[in-house]
Structure 1
């Protein structure tokens, strides 16, 4: 009974701890295996620690800060293609940003000098867009140029946008018609209200019908004739768009960017300045369009010839053929185009 109890106690406690005995080598052998196992684990841990240390040291040594110049060059150099050897590869020279910037500045300065010379000697400014433009963009070019010519040639006391702003102010001022009849009212900024309203009305009518004409036909040329008559005007300005490549879609240039390029060239050429005094005149607009476009507001002038006895100032717009991806209208197609005259003339006024 006592033996069974002792056996149960030993089973509950666990296997007996091996002891050293001189008679049998089992326990000694077991202890040796136990010690050997600890030795193996200790050696493995030390080896793992050394391996991790060496790996960390190798990672630090291979960091970009410690890479040698030869390793960096070999990493940048592309792998040799089929039939090529990698022994004669040379590193491409890095371009100097400062030198390229100076070259661009020099090129632009030369272009500006040529633009100024053409504007001074030939009365002409050439603007080449690096891509195609939209039909709506061509209409915007003409409309903005008309506003600019009227203001620069002192036919308007201020810019078109300022006049529109003052007109809106006048409408919201709440003045009654009786007060306007008794005492001629002056719009903000000292503009005569009635004359300002009449000029804006005529100019808006011309601009809106130009948009309608551009929607019906391709318009390669537009004339602004100041003073005199259609046969012999005092001043003649031409917008030539025969070399413009018109396309649709997202691949076309932004109209706002093209307008900045256009007016920058116009400013450099100084095409609209004149030391001679300018008197108030009427401005007539004529446009070249297809004879069968179906426009009703513009009046066709089949026998009209562009006046040659007056100095003509030309704003020539074109698109780079290599970048536009489109071709302008062929010259042979201009035979079906005739001149149309705006029935309303914009009368200049001043304060």
Structure 2
């Protein structure tokens, strides 16, 4: 297909689907370390150290607006099956996902400092106040839409048109600079064996991914997992003679490790009891009381039965993990056993 389109203008509908990959057997009764190993495979993949690409974590698949990214987007923003590529795309092309315009002043102050990661720590209380103010403003505007229903159980009481927070192109530009600066500094620190700024780096990552929902502090577990992944990657290089990671590859690995560490820090994953693989994606399952679910679709019997049927009809070849582990290359001490 590339040969047919090469030399002529590609249509806007020309997209790049996920790369084909070997689908592993589902993992029954997995341990938490199995999830860590799968995440580590994606970190190694981002560093271009794997010949066969691992499954992608659902729902962080390589789509935007329910469509695969355009081929030209891959050329401009890099590997869109990686967190690095998706962050570059989001910060460059989706200004509505950028940081609030009111954050421009504190972020400008951070960017003017000698160290982005050091300046973030002292500036975060200022950013925190702005984020809370913007959240209250958006919430207030949505609440005003609901009016005063005569009966407390009327459906209209719970319906409102979403209100966007205020942002603009200037805010997006500064967000991209903040991301590049934080990524550059954390990689330099890791290369020198310094991990004291990991929590700060993860805070910046969560802020850029979700500016209004980032106030929940980054857990110590996320910090430990990120540190473990990057340490394992660094250690593996000593067991691969002639392997030298370029700066851009270290950046991609750090971005992927940040996404994986924050996902794995979710307490629900401590009780994961099944890992399902299909196509190019990985989906972990865990037991959660229906009464605790914030969304209602899993209370629909038909939907639950379809999920169970999918798990039963895709029987694994054998019980236990079958996913290769990059840990076998360097034998580090696994902190999550």
With the shorter chain as reference, the TM-score category is under 0.3
What TM-score does the superposition give when structure 1 sets the normalisation length? 0.25
Structure (1 or 2) with the greater strand fraction: 1
Larger Rg over CA atoms:
1
Q: Relative contact order: is structure 1 or structure 2 higher (C-alpha 8 Å, sep ≥ 6)?
A: 2
- TM value normalised by structure 2: 0.26
